[in-house]
Amino acid sequence: MSVKSISSCLKVEIEKKNDDQITELLDTLCETTISLTDLKQTGIGKVVNSLRKNKDPEIAKTAATLVAQWKELAKPFTRKASTSSQNRLRPVKKKNPASVANVMAQVSSMTGNKTRDMVRKKLVDALKPENIEVCLQYEEVAYSVEDAMFEKWGNTRKYTQRYRDLVFNLRNSKNPELNQNILYGNITPHQFISMSADELASSKMQVKRKESRDWNTQANRCDLGKANAEMTDDFKCGKCKKRRCTYYQQQTRGADEPMTTFVTCLECSNRWKC
């Protein structure tokens, strides 16, 4: 089994939380010769590094061992740029030696594809929390999102369009809960890339949209009611504060319940019911 295949299988089993299969795949990795090029092209370093905190002590121990071995493999390239153009990592200042997590992040961020690397950078910027201590692995989460996108759509137009939609929502300052849910693992990368516009919206916006749909549903039940809409100044618009409105009434509940009044402001088109 190739390193790329192992990496793909490992992602799937981690998603399923299948510890038995994860253990077998890690054992396979221990018996496989892996080059620095393999680490950069497959992102296996990032995947295994995420298992170092697994609840299963055997999985965590094996993952830590592999990461330590790969760190040694990458060590010569963390000081200065290597003369080899094929296996090159970013140079690291001597006063600030790279940690295991940083080395693995550098390896996993490099795909060799300009479009993918650009998308990864944008996702990292969009997911970066104000306080990095809240989620030190935010870069790895961003790489996982891009991995899931590329796995599903490849280098296609859909891939590019979806990346723009997701980044737009991640940068929405009125919807911080989306970023939090992704960083905390409440929403997995595979779930995130397939979410609808309503699902990506904040909880407040979802409630607002539902109320609007419910209003439209009730208002459209009877065309006769609309035809009989009357002008009134009995109602005050909550948005523009004007009293120039139309209204009509319709029985939407039980026969013994009062009728529902549907009001439309003629100034700003705001609608409500009472």
91 or 103, which is more confident: 103
255 or 45, which is more confident: 45
* Structural domain boundaries in the chain: 3-200, 210-273
- Domain 210-273, CATH class in plain words: mainly beta
Contacts 24+ apart (CB under 8 A), 64-67: 65/30, 66/26, 66/29, 66/30, 67/100, 67/104
**Which band of pLDDT confidence, cut at 50, 70 and 90, is reported for residue 1?**
low
Does 28 have pLDDT greater than 50?
yes
The owner of tokens 């939380």 is: 17
Q: What is the largest CA-CA distance in the chain?
A: 86
Express as a percent the part of the chain with pLDDT over 70. Answer: 78
Does 23 have pLDDT greater than 50?
yes
**Which band of pLDDT confidence, cut at 50, 70 and 90, is reported for residue 4?**
confident
Structure tokens at 219: 């208002």
Residues 6+ apart with CB under 8 A from 149: 119, 159, 162, 163, 193
* Calpha distance 154→152 (Å, rounded): 6
Report pLDDT for 12.
Answer: 84
Q: What is the pTM of this model?
A: 0.44
Closest listed residue to residue 176, CA positions, set 212, 143, 202: 202
Does 108 have pLDDT greater than 90?
no
SS3 for 60-115 is: HHHHHHHHHHHHHHHHHHCCCCCCCCCCCCCCCCCCCCCCHHHHHHHHHHCCCCHH
Express as a percent the part of the chain with pLDDT over 90. Answer: 18
Please name the amino acid found at residue 60. A
Please name the amino acid found at residue 120. R
From residue 262, alpha-carbon distances to 7, 108, 219, 232 in Å are 57, 57, 7, 12
Report pLDDT for 205.
Answer: 83
- pLDDT digits over 238-270, tens only? 889 888 888 888 777 666 777 888 888 888 888
The owner of tokens 């089994």 is: 1
Instruction: Give the DSSP letter of residue 20.
Output: H
Lowest mean pLDDT: which of 59-73, 112-126, 138-152, 244-258? 244-258
- pLDDT digits over 53-84, tens only? 888 888 888 888 888 887 777 665 544 444 44
- pLDDT digits over 160-197, tens only? 999 999 999 999 888 889 998 998 889 999 999 999 98
Lowest mean pLDDT: which of 2-6, 75-79, 209-213, 265-269? 75-79
Q: If you write DSSP's letter for every residue of 135-170 in order, what string do you get?
A: -TTHHHHHHHHHHHHHHHH-SSHHHHHHHHHHHHHH
* Calpha distance 82→179 (Å, rounded): 37
Does 91 have pLDDT greater than 70?
no
- Mean pLDDT computed over 13-36: 83
Report pLDDT for 83.
Answer: 46
**Which band of pLDDT confidence, cut at 50, 70 and 90, is reported for residue 217?**
low
Q: What is the mean pLDDT of the chain?
A: 78
